[in-house]
Amino acid sequence: MSGNRFKFWLLAAGLAARFDLADFLREAAPVRFDWIFEHTLFCAINPSRRDDYVRAVKRWLKPRGQFLAVHYMIRDTDGPPFGCTQQELMERFSPHFELRQGWVPRSYPNRTGLELMLWWQRKQ
Ligand SMILES: C[S@@+](CC[C@H](N)C(=O)[O-])C[C@H]1O[C@@H](n2cnc3c(N)ncnc32)[C@H](O)[C@@H]1O
């Protein structure tokens, strides 16, 4: 969904929101959030920066905050998008987050069965 369409839906639903363009990996969080929801950001990031990604999620999220991510489960190494495995996701995130639920979501037709949705809760 484009940024403008997303803004339209939020306004129509009577929700207030602020949109900032930022480097998620580098920048300090303006506040710590209760929830982070991301859709295929992890796969857009070079695998050499995946430790930075995990640190960024922890930096932007409150202790015990919720982290909901849609991962693109492809094998490609010449991304973006870059592939990953479920085992890698578990190894990277489970030291810092408790897995609440994981499932294969409804996806765009060309991604059916290739996305994995993981709902984590940050440990203290
Ligand atoms: C596969 S797209 C997904 C976009 C959107 N979430 C969606 O589902 O349509 C990956 C996005 O991650 C953004 N991205 C990559 N590295 C980033 C970073 N360090 N900080 C913020 N955004 C980043 C890219 O600009 C791109 O828009």
**Is 86 within 8 Å of 73 (Cβ atoms)?**
yes
d(C-alpha 62, C-alpha 121), whole Å: 10
pTM exceeds 0.85, yes or no: yes
Per-residue confidence band for 113, with pLDDT thresholds at 50, 70 and 90: very high
pLDDT of residue 8: 84
Residue 24 CA to ligand 1 centre (angstroms): 9
Determine, yes or no, domain membership for 13: no
Determine, yes or no, domain membership for 110: yes
Determine, yes or no, domain membership for 24: no
Sequential DSSP letters for 43-106: GGS-GGGHHHHHHHHHHHEEEEEEEEEEEE----SSSSSPP--HHHHHHHHTTTEEEEEEEPPP
4-59 pLDDT tens trace = 788 888 889 998 888 889 999 999 998 999 999 999 999 999 999 999 999 999 99
pLDDT of residue 112: 95
pLDDT of residue 2: 65
Whole-angstrom CA distances from 102 to 48, 52, 69, 74, 112 are 25, 23, 10, 17, 16
Q: List all residues whose CB is within 6 A of at least one atom of ligand 1.
A: 23-25, 39-41, 44-45
The structural domain count of the chain equals 1
Residue nearest to atom 5 of ligand 1 (CA): 39
CA distance between the termini of the chain = 33
Q: Residue 63: which domain range?
A: 32-122
53-107 pLDDT tens trace = 999 999 999 999 999 999 999 999 999 999 999 999 999 999 999 999 999 999 9
- CATH assignment at residue 92: 3.40.50.150
Determine, yes or no, domain membership for 113: yes
Per-residue confidence band for 117, with pLDDT thresholds at 50, 70 and 90: very high
Per-residue confidence band for 1, with pLDDT thresholds at 50, 70 and 90: low
Determine, yes or no, domain membership for 15: no
Determine, yes or no, domain membership for 98: yes
3-state secondary structure of 38: strand
pLDDT of residue 118: 98
